[in-house]
Each structure stands twice: as structure tokens, then as C-alpha cells.
Amino acid sequence: MLGVQNISRRTFLKSAGVTGALVLGANVSTGSMIGTARGQGNGTSIKPNLFVEISDDGTVTLTCSRSEMGQGVRTGIPMILADELEADWQRVKIWQAPGDETKFDPAGKDQQNTDGSRSTRHHFEIMRQLGAAGRYVLEQAAAKKWGVDPAEVYAKDHRIYHSGTGDWFDFGEVVDAAADIVVPTGDAAPKLKDKSQWKYIGRDMPVVDNYDMSTGGATYGADISVPGMKIAVVARPPVYRGKVKSYDASEALKVQGVEQVIEIPPLADDMPAEFRALGGIAVIGTNTWSVMEGRDRLVIEWDDGPNVTHDSSTYNGELVVAARTGGHVIRDRGNVDEAMGAAARVMEAEYFVPYFIHTPMEPPVAMVDATRMPVKVVTSTQAPNWVRQYVAEALGLEQTDVECEVTLLGGGFGRKSKPDFACEAAILSARIGAPVRVQWTREDEIRHGFYHAASAHRLKAGLDGAGKVTAWHHSGAWPTLIALWAPTMRTGHPLEYGLGLIDTPYNEVPNLRIENGEIDAMIRVGWYRSVNNIQHAFAMNCFANELAEAAGRDPVEFLLELIGDADVMDLTMDGVPEHWNYGDSIEDWPIMPKRLSNVLRVVAEKSGYGKSMPPGHGLGIACHRSFHSYVGCAVHVVVRDDGSLHIPQVDMAIDCGRYVNPEGVKKQMEGAAIYGHSVAMHGQITTTQGAVDQSNFHDYTITRMDDAPLDVRTHIVEDFTHLKPCGVGEPGVPPYTPALVNAIYNATGKRIRRLPIGDQLESA
Amino acid sequence: MISMRINGVSRQFHGDPDMPLLWYVRDELGLTGTKFGCGAALCGACTLHVNGSAVRACVTPVSEADGGEVTTIEGLDSEGNHPVQRAWREHNVPQCGYCQSGQIMSAAALLNENPDPSDDEIVDGMAGNICRCGTYQRIFAAVRTAAQEV
């Protein structure tokens, strides 16, 4: 953990070229401001640590070292700091940190990579400490000015008060007295506020970038322009790991505004793809339209390579076979074979989920200036230090030779933690000796991405005569995302098992086996909002619903019986000595069946589950734990005569432990329902001879307002807010699809076992 | 030569008349509030107004705006306080924010043509704009609020 320090160095500012100011922190990094932060005070300021700065005009500048992609992190993280600091939110500005994990990863857990729904849970405690350190410095400074015992002094609402006289200073008025104050550590560290004194944590807060985002003033990666910069688009191999055999650029070079055509070399065959640039032909020029036109005029002959055999039509069948075959038992409780043999009834069903692609509204884009040292990257990235690492490798430099500024992200969803697009810009900038911005088009994004793993699942269960589940057997297969590093790997990886599979929450089932089959990865597989939780939640919630039906039981009661109300589910009892728990310790974030049952009960009650529905209407329910949070989802569907759907209402009950900004939680649940609706209804990437068939929003459909749920009601469960914060950005997505599918069954009696739903109801 | 007024300023364009308006305003004029999302009039991120009507700038050649009045998100209101913009902030609509310029320009044009839209007319009018973060519920509410003010 970062020590909370206040190091007074008057000389530091002089060396940083700033005069007339006082800085009390080490490693002051000023960098560029984005969003609403428009410059800082002109005079003195103190910086008790890298996350808090107070200027003598009272302006407080708080650091956000996490990437904003719509999840509200530039609001939520500073809220924690401001609360402990006792700052007035109206006088707070946000400064976006560049990539530097030695300074801006205070939790020391993830190199500033903003994914895995972990910003709040990893930073809640340390941000409180850093904010409290700032408050301590201000209180000590005020006590010094008054010549009183610091115990008589307290901070409140941007002022320091003297409790005896009621006198007060504004924050800015004590900055001049703050030099040389040392923030104690260990047991003497500044005390954190009691929960009852929180003024921002737990309260609704609008996002800090609202004004800029509603006036066109917000800056994204695509908006970056520097003097002398060229714009490039790249024609990439249609098949994963394909190469350029030959090309003719003569027509491309005739387009007005096109200046150069350059080949980005392919990777050596034995080098894993990871997040590297995979090669292609770059068209470089003065404006985006010219280079796009130029690219259309390239004539390229490709060597497609070994993945040309990758056809979804056959590969999907291989996935189904792999799921049936299984072979790698990852969790085994009791004796499933014996229990199946003794069961009064054995049920089996298979589920399939295709590849998806992220489609953030801003396609990947990066500006790199490799003509200077350190090399400068400005991009909309989730992972600025991976940008630095891979750009450095592409240029034959050290990571410390590359700096990365982070703009706002026009959506991320996992795509923008993979910096291949920044590598392309770096290679081109170094080659032509000018800054280059590489712009991906929508077609590039859909055809050359990192795809959510397609997967097949065979579920089998034994029921006793009373309709109780005595055995549960889930076997799944998917191409692993770890193949990016280990191309020959054919099984899943523990981190994928941990995404809602090995932790299958049906803790009351006495015999339970989880198995994984083998398949080759023939495309770049990468994480996508909520990752493999999507298919796991879909398969197990839908299968449980089928079992309830077969047993003549109420589906919610049936699920509650499977999950139970144990405090903790301990996988070591099931032959799993350790498992991936979202990168966190199982002690801090245990698997708690009672919390899952709780959200299920809440969402059943809030949605009016059990009420009678008119013909064609259905209510479906599902629940899932992911990223340590527990979410119950109820979808009310109307299936019209023509098979089209309308969603009058969605209820989401989320237990995310300690939350910071309830308004942010609500927005994530609303967005997750709509993201889930795209997954359920439309999402499907297919390949033919190795190439992706889809190209833009006409054939890769995203939910629009006319098919979206527009009444999503979020119920934040308060019962476990004394526990640690858990994820919010992703956990709303997985339970939506099975809730919808179960609702459709409730309305029509038709089971959906293969995504997307698409026109399956129309052909019924 | 092509002439137009953009956000009230007279502009002369000497380049290829087929260049889409999107790239003229973004790359040549630096008005980056108008966004690139699909290049094929499928997502609405590039929506701006030509002579008061919403158009998809990514497929609208500069020549089509010749002699016309173009308004981008930057020119919708000098203070950023168009009723639609105020409603967007009141409902705390944006998540990533990238599509919101286009959403706001579509909503402003919708309300300009139909100041009192029904719920179905709001949905129909806004269905051309994709928001991947899924802010439709709040967009819908914000358009309704703005409709009471225009």
C-alpha cells in the first residue's frame, strides 16, 4: 500500500518551473486536464499526496487514475476523496492521471487497468486514507495559524473551524501554513470519518462531465490533434494471423490528401498475438476521409494462414461436441454418477452462446508521437500502462520511454484495455517521423476485434421423487482468451472458470460436478463486459427454470432451494483447493449464498412475481453473482402475435456491498439491462473461411430505443452495506438474458437454448 | 467553391465536394463535438443540423450543404443551455457521453418539428441513434422534459 505522505519540498516547484507556489507532495505531475477540470489555481497550492491538491484560492483538485468509459468513475472515486477531505464538491476539479503505476496505482492491484468492475472495491479504503491525509494537513495548518491545539480544530464543508471560538478559515486560507506538516502513518494515521458523517458516499451525484458531454466539449481519443499530425487507417488481414502476400497502392496514392502507404509487418509466426499489432497496409494522409477513400482503392492479396478453416457453421458444432465430451473436471462434490443413477428422473439440456464484439460507440483510436522522447501516446484506453508496455515493445524501447495520457473513452466494454491500435500508431509514427493518429472504422472494429468466446454447455440434473435436485452436472467448452498468450491452449483457464462456473451457486445440491472440454482458439478471444458470466448465468438459470417446470415447482422457490442461505460457500469442500476469485482474496470477498437468495427474494417481491399475467405476457427471473456482487433480475415481456417483443418493465436488485454513488449504480443497472438485451436478442458474430461475416450496425444489431426496455427499476439492497464494496459495471449484464428467456417461456411455452433469440420466436 | 454558414460563421470549402460534412467539421474546422460512429448513417453519432433538419454528417457530402446553414452541437446554444441540453443534465443522461451530441441534435430537431411528441413519436424519432451504454431510458425522459420547455 502507498504510504500516505506529506513531503515538503519548496524546491520542487522551482524545479518544475512553477513560481510562487508551495507544494508539499513528491512526484507532482501536472499533465493535461480533461473534462471539466480547466486549470488550477494560479498561486500557492499544497499537495498532501498525489491524489489531493488544495490551491490558495480554495480550489481542490482530485486525481482520478481510473479510465472513464461511462461507468462514472471520474465521479465516484473523487467523491470518496472529497468526502474524507471534507471538501465542497462545488469547488472540486478532477485531474485525470496519465499511465504510471508507480504513482497512480495506490492499491497496487492492477496497474491502472480499468476493467473487472474493480475500481471502487480496490480504491475505497485507500482513497479514504488519502482524503483523510489532506484533511489532517489542513487541520494542522489551521491550528498552527491560530496557535491552538490541533485537537480543537476540525474540517467541515471546505472550512477549518476552531471549536472553542467558532472561528474558521477557508481551505485556501491555510495553504500558506501547511509546509513541513508530516502526515503520521500506522496507528497514528489520520482517523477516517465515521460512516454517520459521510456527506457524499452513499448519496446521488450527477457525473462531473455532464456539461461537457451535453455541449460537445468532452475530449475523446478521436478528438486529439497535435501539430504536424497525420491520420492513418489500416487494411488488416481478414483472417486472424493472415499476412499480406502482395499489394498495389498506386490508385490509393492518387486520392487527394493521401500521402503515404506503408506496410505494418506481421508478427513472427511463433510470437503470440497478445495485444500486439497484427500487421496490414496503412494509408496515411491529411484527413480521415482521404485515407479511408485511399484504403478502398488498395489492391491486396492476402495469405490467409491456418485459420482459414475457421467456419462458424462447423466450429459451433465442434463446440457442442466438446461440451458433451468434457474431460477436465474442475469441481466435484459428492458422487454425481451414483446420484444420477439413483435419480427418479434425469434431465438434460444444451445451451449455446455465439461470439460477440464490443462495439463501443467510439471505435478504437490512438495518437502517438514517436518523434520525441519519451514517446507520447494520447488515447482512449482502459489500460494506459499496457499501452506503454506494448508500444515500447513495438518500438524497441523500455516502458519508461513511453508516456500515455488518457482521454475520456467513448465506451470500452473490455475492448479498450487491449492496445493493439496504439501499437499501430506507434509503428507508423516512428516510420514516417511525424505524430500519427490511427482511426479504426466500425468495420475494422467488428472484423478485427477480440471476440467474446462462443461457448456450448451441456447441463444434466438428477431429480428425486419429490422433485428435489440430487445431482447437477455442467460441462462447458469455449476457446480460451489465454490463447492470446498461449496459442495452443485448448482448455479454459482458471480465471474463466471463476467467471460464474466453478462458483456455481447451487450450494444445497449434494452432488455437483463442473467439467470443461477442449477446443482450439481460431480468432482473437478477449474479455467483454461481464465475460463468461454471460453464458454461465444463461445456461444455469435457464436449466434451473426447466427443472422447476419438470418438477412442477415454482421457479423462484426452486432456485432458492438450490442456492440456500448459507453464510459462505466453501469450494475447498468440493475438491477445489483454490480458485480465481476476481483477483481478490476469498476471505475479503467470500461467496455468500444467502446474499444471492436475498436479491432473488427482493426482486421477486419488487417485480410482483406471482401475479397473474394477461395472455402473451410473461415474467421471468434469474440471479447471478459476479465481480463479488449479487444481482437478481426480473423481466416482464410481452410476446406479440408476430413474435416480436416488448419489455414493459425490468427490475434489478443489486447487493454490491458498500456503494458510493447510488445514482451511478442505477445508471449501470439501466445500461446493463439494455446491454443484456442486445446480447439476448441480437448479438452474434460468425465467420466464413476465417473471416468475420458482419461489418457494421446493419448486420451486427445493437438494441435501439424502439426495442429497449425503458422502465428499468433498480433496487439497491442495503442489508450488506457493512461489507466491502463489490463490482457494479458488469454484474447487471449476466442475469438479464436468462430472466428474459425465462419470461418468454412463461409467456409462450417456448424454450430458447441458443442465442441470439433473433427471429426464433417468429418462426415458432 | 462551396459556401455555407456553420454555427453562424461563413465558411468556404475548396476541397473535394464529395467529402462528408462530418470530416469537414471535424478534421478541417476542429469542431469535434460531432462524432464518428459508423460512417454509414446507421448510428446517429454524427447528427448535426442542415437548415434546421437533422442529417447524418457521415454520409452527407459537403456539396449538399452548399449555401446552407449548418449547426453542430457546439452551435446549438451559445451557453450550452438549449432546453434539450438542460434536460440532459437534469436527467443525468450521459454515461460515456460519446453518442450524446448526436442524440441531443436529433432530439432538438425532433422537438423543432414536433414540439409536443407522443411517447411513440419520441421513440420513433430517437431510434436512429444508438447508445451502447444504454441510456435510452433517461434520453426518453429528457426528451419529454425538454418538450415541456420548447
Q: Mean of the pLDDT values across residues A340-345?
A: 98
Q: How far is CA A468 from the centre of its chain?
A: 37
Residue A413 sits at the chain B interface (C-beta within 8 Å):
yes
> Does residue A6 surpass a pLDDT of 50?
no
Q: What is the pLDDT of residues A549-565, one digit of tens each?
A: 999 999 999 999 999 99
Residue A331 confidence (pLDDT): 98
CB-CB under 8 Å, A215 with B73 = yes
How far, in Å, CA of B112 to CA of B76, rounded? 12
Q: What is the pLDDT of residues B119-141, one digit of tens each?
A: 999 999 999 999 999 999 999 99
Q: In CATH, what is the architecture of B83-149?
A: Orthogonal Bundle (1.10)
How far, in Å, CA of A234 to CA of A249, rounded? 13
Q: Mean of the pLDDT values across residues A31-35?
A: 25
pLDDT band at B145 (very low <50, low <70, confident <90, very high): very high
Residue B134 sits at the chain A interface (C-beta within 8 Å):
yes
Give the Å distances, CA to CA, from A155 to A81, A138, A158, A172: 14, 8, 7, 12
> Does residue B111 surpass a pLDDT of 90?
yes
Q: Mean of the pLDDT values across residues A81-97?
A: 98
Residues of B in contact with A289 (CB under 8 A): 16, 19-20, 23, 27
Residue A763 confidence (pLDDT): 64
Q: What is the pLDDT of residues A614-634, one digit of tens each?
A: 999 999 999 999 999 999 999
> Does residue A391 surpass a pLDDT of 60?
yes
Beta bridge partners of A368: A377, A436
> Does residue A255 surpass a pLDDT of 60?
yes
Backbone angles phi, psi at A78, to 5 degrees: -65, -30
Q: Let me know the angle formed at the C-alpha of A138 by A164 and A153, rounded to the nearest 5 degrees.
A: 15
How far, in Å, CA of A287 to CA of A100, rounded? 32
- Other beta carbons less than 10 A from residue A102's beta carbon: 10
How far, in Å, CA of B105 to CA of A485, rounded? 44
Q: What is the pLDDT of residues A275-317, one digit of tens each?
A: 999 999 999 999 999 999 999 999 999 999 999 999 999 999 9
CATH 3.10.20.30 positions along chain B are 2-76
Residue B130 sits at the chain A interface (C-beta within 8 Å):
yes
Residue B17 sits at the chain A interface (C-beta within 8 Å):
no
Grid coordinates belonging to A215: 455541449
> Does residue A475 surpass a pLDDT of 60?
yes
Residue A179 confidence (pLDDT): 79
> Nearest-CA residue of chain A relative to B81?
A215
- Distance from first CA to last CA of chain B, Å, rounded? 37
> Does residue A15 surpass a pLDDT of 50?
no
Residue B12 confidence (pLDDT): 97
> Nearest-CA residue of chain B relative to A437?
B27
Q: Give the whole-number percent of chain A exceeding pLDDT 70.
A: 94
Which is more confident, A420 or A5?
A420
CB nearest to B96's CB, from A361, A673, A706: A361
pLDDT band at A242 (very low <50, low <70, confident <90, very high): very high
Residue B103 sits at the chain A interface (C-beta within 8 Å):
no
Distance from CA of B67 to the nearest CA of A (A): 22
Minimum mean pLDDT range among A32-46, A159-173, A243-257: A32-46
> What ipTM does the predicted assembly reach?
0.99
Residue A584 sits at the chain B interface (C-beta within 8 Å):
no
CATH 1.10.150.120 positions along chain B are 83-149
CB-CB under 8 Å, A670 with B129 = no
> Nearest-CA residue of chain A relative to B120?
A706
Residue A27 confidence (pLDDT): 29
CB nearest to A442's CB, from B15, B39, B76: B39
DSSP state of A254: G
Q: What is the pLDDT of residues A343-367, one digit of tens each?
A: 999 999 999 999 999 999 999 999 9
Backbone angles phi, psi at A44, to 5 degrees: -70, 145
Q: What is the pLDDT of residues A414-465, one digit of tens each?
A: 999 999 999 999 999 999 999 999 999 999 999 999 999 999 999 999 999 9
CB-CB under 8 Å, B36 with A363 = yes
Residue A699 sits at the chain B interface (C-beta within 8 Å):
no
CB nearest to B96's CB, from A70, A231, A703: A70
Distance from CA of A678 to the nearest CA of B (A): 9
Q: Which residues contact A585 (CB under 8 A, 6 or more apart)?
A: none
Residues of A in contact with B144 (CB under 8 A): none
Residues of A in contact with B138 (CB under 8 A): 667, 670
Q: Which residues contact A71 (CB under 8 A, 6 or more apart)?
A: A119, A664, A668, A728, A729, B95
Residue A44 confidence (pLDDT): 86
Residue B119 confidence (pLDDT): 98
CB-CB under 8 Å, B33 with A215 = yes
> Does residue A398 surpass a pLDDT of 80?
yes
Q: What is the pLDDT of residues A477-510, one digit of tens each?
A: 999 999 999 999 999 999 999 999 999 999 999 9
Distance from CA of B42 to the nearest CA of A (A): 6
pLDDT band at A31 (very low <50, low <70, confident <90, very high): very low
Residue A226 sits at the chain B interface (C-beta within 8 Å):
no
Residues of B in contact with A219 (CB under 8 A): 32
> Does residue A60 surpass a pLDDT of 60?
yes
> Nearest-CA residue of chain A relative to B59?
A289
Distance from CA of B50 to the nearest CA of A (A): 17
CB nearest to B98's CB, from A362, A673, A675: A362
Distance from CA of A664 to the nearest CA of B (A): 9
**Which of A68, A215, A225, A438 should be substituted to probe chain B, the one whose Cβ sees the most B Cβ atoms within 10 Å?**
A215
What fold is seen in the domain B2-76?
Ubiquitin-like (UB roll) (3.10.20)
CB-CB under 8 Å, A672 with B134 = yes
DSSP letters, A652-685, are EEEE-SS-S-HHHHHHHHHHHHHHHHHHHHT--B
For chain B, what is the mean pLDDT?
98
Residues of B in contact with A705 (CB under 8 A): 123, 126-127, 129, 136, 139-140
The answer to whether residues A520 and A318 touch, using CB atoms and an 8 Å cutoff, is no
> Does residue A268 surpass a pLDDT of 70?
yes
> Does residue A9 surpass a pLDDT of 80?
no
Grid coordinates belonging to A674: 439494455
CB nearest to B32's CB, from A206, A223, A706: A223
User: Residues 275 to 314 of A: which have CB under 8 A from any B CB?
Assistant: 286-289, 292
How far, in Å, CA of A728 to CA of A654, rounded? 9
- Other beta carbons less than 10 A from residue A303's beta carbon: 14
> Does residue A37 surpass a pLDDT of 80?
no
The answer to whether residues A114 and A92 touch, using CB atoms and an 8 Å cutoff, is no
Residue A227 sits at the chain B interface (C-beta within 8 Å):
no
Residue A663 sits at the chain B interface (C-beta within 8 Å):
yes
Residues of B in contact with A256 (CB under 8 A): 15-16
For chain A, what is the mean pLDDT?
94
CB-CB under 8 Å, A231 with B140 = no
Residue of A75, A133, A129, A89 whose CA lies nearest to A106: A129
Distance from CA of B29 to the nearest CA of A (A): 11
Residue A28 confidence (pLDDT): 26
